[in-house]
A and B are shown apart, each in its own frame.
Chain A
C-alpha cells in the first residue's frame, strides 16, 4: 500500500532522512521506533505530504504522492502534538473536517462516544488539556474509516483508561485488514499490537523485521528485550 524509495530529506545542512527504502502492505501493523530525532516524525510527515522530500519517491496505493492530495482520503493521521485553532470548539472542528472530507463511507464514531467527547462538544480547543486534545486527534484519525492509519505517539499523554480504549480500537482496525503505522517509545505497549518492527537511527533504517523473526533471532520473548539485545550486539561489534 505504501512504497518508499530512496527517500532523502535535508533541513538545511542537517540530513534527517538518508536513503529510506520501505514497503508497507495491507493488514500490517508496523512499529516505527528509534531514539529521539532519528527522523520518525519526518518520515511520517513525508508520507502525508506535509514535508516535501529532497529526493526520492513515495507511492500510496500505487500512486505517486508528489503534487497530489486525493490520496490523503485514505489516511487517518494522529499527530504527536495536535495543534488546533484555539477559538473553535470540539464540535466545530469535527464538523469542519466532515465538511471538507465529504466522505461517503459511514462514519466511525466509536471513539467519539467512548471518549465521551460528544458530551463536551461545546468546549473550545484552547481550554482542553493535553490528553483531551489527544483524544480529539485520535477520534479524527479513525472517524472516516481510512484504509491507512498513521499514529504518531498515540498513547503519550492519555490516561490509562483512554489508552486502553485506543489500543482496543487499534487492534480491532488491524483485524479489519487496515495498514497501521505507529511510532512509540513505550515498547512494552506495542507487544500485543504490532506485526512488524522498524528501527531507525540517524535517518537510516537499521532493520525492518516481523516481530516473529525478531524474537526468534534474538531468543527474547518481548520486543523491548529483543531490541535491547540487538542494540547491545551492534555496540559490541
Chain B
C-alpha cells in the first residue's frame, strides 16, 4: 500500500461513520440469521437488505468524502505527485475501507450461520457492489464542483439503480407482454449492477422457479459457467468504466 493510500485509509478509519456502518451491517446480519431458522431464507432476506443499504452507504459516503478531500487534493497537487496517483489512492483507500466494513459486518455472520457456496458468492457480489458504487461516486463528484449537486446526483443514481430501474422493467414487461422480449431482458439487466447481482444470487438459491418463463431464460443464461463469467466481467466493467471516466476528467481538471 502506498503512503498516500495509507493516509487516506487511516483518515477514513478514524471517521466514526464507517464504524457505525460496520455495526449496522453486523446487527442486521446477526438479527436476520437469528430470526430465520432456515439459512436459505435468511440469506434471501439478507440479500435484499444488502442490495439496498450497501450501495446507498458506499455511494453517499464516498461522494461526501471526495468533496471534503478537496483541500487534501489541492495540497498534494503542488507536490511532486502524479495526478492519477492521487485519484487512484483515494479510490483504493475508500473502497478498501468500505470493503473491510462489509467483510466484518456481513462476512463474519454469514460464515458463522450459513457457510456455503451461495454465501461465498453473496460476499463476492457484495464486494463488487461496494466497489461499483464507490466508482460511481467518483464519477458524480467529478462532474460538478457543487457539493450539494454532486451528492444529489449520487442519491438519484442510487434511487435509479435500487428502485426506479425495476419499475421501468416492470412497465416494459407489461407494455410488451405480447412480444418475445424475454431474451432482451437478459441484456437489459446488464444495465443495472444491482439487478445483475440479485439475479445471480437468486439463481444460486434455486428460487428461480418462482420467476416463471423469464426465470427459465435467466437460468439458461446465468446458470451456466459462461453466463457467470460474463456477469462478473460486466460487474468488473461497472467498476472500470465509471472510475476510468472520472480519472480522465480529473487529469484535465483545473484546481
Query: Which A residues are within 8 Å of any B CB, using their own CB?
Result: 11, 45, 48-52, 69-73, 75, 77, 79, 83-87, 93, 96-97, 99-101
Contact = CB atoms under 8 A, between A and B. Distances in A.
A129 B14 CA distance: 25
A50 B83 CA distance: 9
Contacts of B255: 45, 50-51
A124 to B, nearest CB: 12
B254 A72 contact: no
Contacts of B83: 49, 69
Contacts of A85: 11, 69, 71-72, 75
B77 A100 contact: no
A84 B78 contact: no
Contacts of A51: 254-255
Closest 6 CB pairs of A and B: A83-B71, A72-B80, A73-B80, A77-B78, A51-B254, A50-B255
Given A45-B255, A87-B14, A50 B78 contact: yes
A93 B76 CA distance: 11
A48 B76 CA distance: 11
B70 interface: yes
B79 interface: yes
B80 A83 contact: no
B74 interface: yes
A72 B85 CA distance: 15
A79 B78 contact: yes
Contact of B79 (A79, A84, A101): A101
B111 to A, nearest CB: 34
Contacts of A100: 3-4, 76, 79-81
